[in-house]
Structure 1
Amino acid sequence: MSFRIATYAVCLEQGQVLLTRHVAACGETTWTLPGGGVEHAEDPYDAVTRELSEETGYDGVVERLLGVDSRVIPAAVARAGVEHQNVGIFYSVRITGGRLRAELNGATVEPTWTLIGEVASLRRASLVDHGLALAQILPATGHITPTPVGGLIQH
């Protein structure tokens, strides 16, 4: 089994959410939240704004911790072909500056402000739905029921 700790920025403005398109090695694309792996010795709080800047060109400030999600991706669908656990830490992040642009030489492209009502029609990572639910519900425990995977919702 592989394991990863990642942070995700939930950026909401005027009924829209900031998404990026992830391009897999096979060329398949999925919409996701800005974010990614926490580097060795890096604080997750710092990782989320670093990832936001790398993937979108925006500067941001963490407004609050939304919650944590732990999901296991079966080997049959995991990129590396082995079962994978992802622990995702979700933050509400407010954009403070910068200019929207694609990630330079990265796996994410096309950062886009998307109407929240249009998200359901996109092929997206389950973490998009999870992050939006955390932002809407603001559970005291920081935990909600995992987002079911299937159809347009991918691992």
Structure 2
Amino acid sequence: MSFRLAAYAVCVEDGRVLLARYIPPSGEPLWTLPGGRVEHAEDPLDAVIREVAEETGCDAAVERLLGVDSRVIPAAERNVPGPEHHNVGIFYRIRILGGQLRPEPNGRTDEPTWTPIPDVAGLRRSSLVDIGITLSLTLPATGHVAPVSVGGLIQH
């Protein structure tokens, strides 16, 4: 089993959420939250700010911790070949301080965009998007929401 600790940014303004299009090795793009792997010895709070800058071109500040999601992705459902994968995601509400939206240079994310929350349901997206939006809108005391069913437009 592989393991990854990741930090994700949830930025909601004026009924819109900031998303970035991710292009996995399989080649079929999906929308996701800005974020990604926490590097060795990196604080997750620093990681989310770094990831927002890399993937969107914007400077960000963390406003609050929203919660944590832990999921095991079976090998057959992964976007990349490999064993079963355990992902632990830390979700932060962030606000944009400045910068201009642009694609990630030499990366796998492009087209960062503000998306009206009602339009998210019609997008091919990572389940992380639904988890982040739910955490942001409900602010559960436990910092945990029910797992999101994967299938159709919602992917791992």
TM value normalised by structure 2: 0.98
Q: Distance in 1 between the 2:147 and 2:67 partners?
A: 12
In the TM superposition, what is the alpha-carbon distance from 1:34 to its structure 2 partner? 0.2
Deviation per residue, 1:127-154 (Å, 9 max, x gap): 0000000001101110111111111000
Which position in structure 1 is the counterpart of 2:37?
37
Opposite residue 54 of structure 2, the aligned amino acid is: E
In the TM superposition, what is the alpha-carbon distance from 1:26 to its structure 2 partner? 2.4
Which position in structure 1 is the counterpart of 2:8?
8
What SS does structure 1 have at the residue aligned with 2:77? coil
What SS does structure 2 have at the residue aligned with 1:136? helix
Q: Distance in 2 between the 1:34 and 1:114 partners?
A: 13
Q: Distance in 2 between the 1:25 and 1:150 partners?
A: 19
Q: Distance in 1 between the 2:149 and 2:65 partners?
A: 23
Q: Distance in 1 between the 2:124 and 2:5 partners?
A: 23
What SS does structure 2 have at the residue aligned with 1:19? strand
Which position in structure 2 is the counterpart of 1:23?
23
In the TM superposition, what is the alpha-carbon distance from 1:38 to its structure 2 partner? 0.1
Which position in structure 2 is the counterpart of 1:91?
92
> Which runs of 5 or more residues in structure 2 are unaligned?
none
Runs of 4+ in 1 over 2 A off after TM superposition: none
Q: Distance in 1 between the 2:88 and 2:70 partners?
A: 4
**Comparing 85-94 with 23-32, which one deviates more in the overlay?**
23-32
Opposite residue 99 of structure 1, the aligned amino acid is: Q
Which position in structure 1 is the counterpart of 2:143?
142
**Comparing 72-81 with 108-117, which one deviates more in the overlay?**
72-81
Which position in structure 1 is the counterpart of 2:121?
120
> Which runs of 5 or more residues in structure 1 are unaligned?
none
Q: Distance in 2 between the 1:116 and 1:153 partners?
A: 15
